[in-house]
Homo-oligomer: A and B are copies of this chain.
Amino acid sequence: MRILTAAHHAPSVGYSQPWNFILIRDRSSRLNIKESFSKERLKSVELLEKDKEKKRKYLDLKLEGILESNLNICVTYDHRRFGPYVIGRMTIKEAGIYSVCCAIQNLWLAARAENIGVGWVSIIDNKHLKRILNLPTNIKPIAYLCLGYVNKFEVQPDLQSQNWLNRLDLEKVINYEQWDDRNRPTEWEGFSQRLTGKKAYS
C-alpha cells in the first residue's frame, strides 16, 4: 500500500488521476498471461530472422517473472475519468497516458526503496490481457508489472551486462536550445562540466 500510495501521488494532466492498479495473485490468470507472453516472445524472436547470434542471446534473456513473483500489477488508463474535459488534455490527447507512466515510475522507485524488484513485461498481447482481466472497452492496459523480493539487485541493467546494448553518454542526449545546434552557444560553456569535473566535449 505504501508503494501504491506513491504511485497514486504522481502528477497527472488536469489532476485527472486516470490510473487503476489491478493486483493479481490468482494463478490461473497468471498462467494465461504467461501463455500470451510465450507466444509473443516467439513471434518477436522470429523477427530477428537470420541473426542467429542475436536470437540466441534473446532466448537467454530473463524477460518476465509472471509466475514466480509475489505479485503482478496491471496498470491501466481510463480516458473517461473526470472527462471529457480535462485541463491540458484538450491540446495533447496522449497526455493522460503520460500521466499513467509517471505513476508507474513512482511505483517502481517506491518498490525499489522497499527492496522490492520490479519488472515491466511488454511482450504481452493487450487483447489477451483485456480478456483475461475483464477490462471494459474504455480501459487501456499500459503496463504489466511483476513485483517481488529478489536475492540481489544487479549493478547494471541485464541488457547491458549481457552485451545487448550500452548506456549512452548523457551528453549525447542533451541538446542546447534546438535540436541540431552543433554550435553550442558560448553561454552554455561549462554547463555540463559542473557534474563530471572533466572538460565537456573535449
Identify the A interface with B (CB < 8 A).
1-2, 4-5, 8, 10-11, 13-17, 19-26, 29, 40, 43-44, 47-48, 54, 58, 61, 63, 82, 85, 87-92, 94-95, 97-98, 101-102, 104-106, 108-109, 120-126, 133-136, 139, 142-143, 157, 159-160, 164-165, 167-168, 170, 173-180, 185, 187-188, 191-192, 194-196
Contacts and interface: CB of A to CB of B under 8 A. Distances in A.
Nearest to A88: B122
Given A102-B101, A175-B20, A82 B165 contact: yes
Copies in the complex: 2
Nearest to A8: B170
Contacts of A105: 10-11, 101-102, 105-106
Given A61-B87, A87-B58, A98-B143, A192 B123 contact: no
Contacts of A98: 97, 101, 104, 142-143
B191 A1 contact: yes
A159 to B, nearest CB: 4
Given A19-B173, A108-B102, A179 B136 contact: yes
A165 B12 CA distance: 12
Contacts of A1: 170, 191-192, 194-196
